Amino acid sequence: MSALKNAARARIDRHADALIRLSERLHADPETAWEEHRAAASVPELLDHAGFAVTSHYLGLDTAFHARFGSGPTRIAVCAEYDALPGLGHACGHNLIAASSVGAALGLSEVADDAGITVEVYGTPAEEGGGGKIELLDRGAFDGVDLAMLAHPAPVDVAEARPFAVSHSKISYTGKSAHAAAYPEAGVNAADAFTVAQVAIGLLRQQLPASARVHGVVTHAGDAPNAIPEHATGRWYVRAETLAELAELEPRVLRAFEAGALATGCELAVEPESKPYAEFRADERALAAYRANALALGREFTEGAAASRMNRASTDMGNVSQVVPAIHPYVGIGSLPAINHQREFAAHCVGGTAQRALLDSAIALAWTGADRAVTP
Q: What is the pLDDT of residue 63?
A: 98
Q: What is the pLDDT of residue 306?
A: 58
CB atoms within 10 A of CB 182: 8
Segment 74-80 shows an average pLDDT of 98
Alpha helices in 331-351 (DSSP H): 343-348
- Residues 28/99, Cβ–Cβ less than 8 Å: no
Closest CA to 47 of 147, 125, 153, 123: 123
Q: What is the pLDDT of residue 30?
A: 97
Q: What is the pLDDT of residue 129?
A: 87
Q: What is the pLDDT of residue 101?
A: 98
pLDDT reading at 310 higher than 80: no
Burial of 248 (0-12, 13-18, 19+ CB in 10 A): exposed
- Residues 335/97, Cβ–Cβ less than 8 Å: no
Q: What is the pLDDT of residue 237?
A: 96
pLDDT band at 172 (very low <50, low <70, confident <90, very high): very high
pLDDT band at 2 (very low <50, low <70, confident <90, very high): confident
pTM: 0.92
In angstroms, the CA 358 to CA 171 distance is 38
pLDDT band at 161 (very low <50, low <70, confident <90, very high): confident
pLDDT reading at 132 higher than 90: yes
**For residue range 242-274, what is the model confidence (pLDDT) as tens digits?**
999 999 999 999 999 999 999 999 999 999 999
Closest CA to 157 of 356, 27, 255, 299: 299
Segment 195-199 shows an average pLDDT of 97
**For residue range 270-309, what is the model confidence (pLDDT) as tens digits?**
999 999 999 999 999 999 999 999 999 999 998 766 555 7
Q: What is the pLDDT of residue 230?
A: 97
Q: What is the pLDDT of residue 244?
A: 95
**For residue range 220-239, what is the model confidence (pLDDT) as tens digits?**
999 999 999 999 999 999 99
Q: What is the pLDDT of residue 162?
A: 87
**For residue range 84-96, what is the model confidence (pLDDT) as tens digits?**
999 999 999 999 9
Q: What is the pLDDT of residue 211?
A: 87
DSSP 110-144: HTHHHHTEEEEEEE---TTTT-HHHHHHHTTTTTT
Q: What is the DSSP letter of 108?
A: H
Between 76-85, 102-111, 192-201, 306-315, the lowest mean confidence (pLDDT) is in 306-315
What is the average pLDDT score of the chain?
95
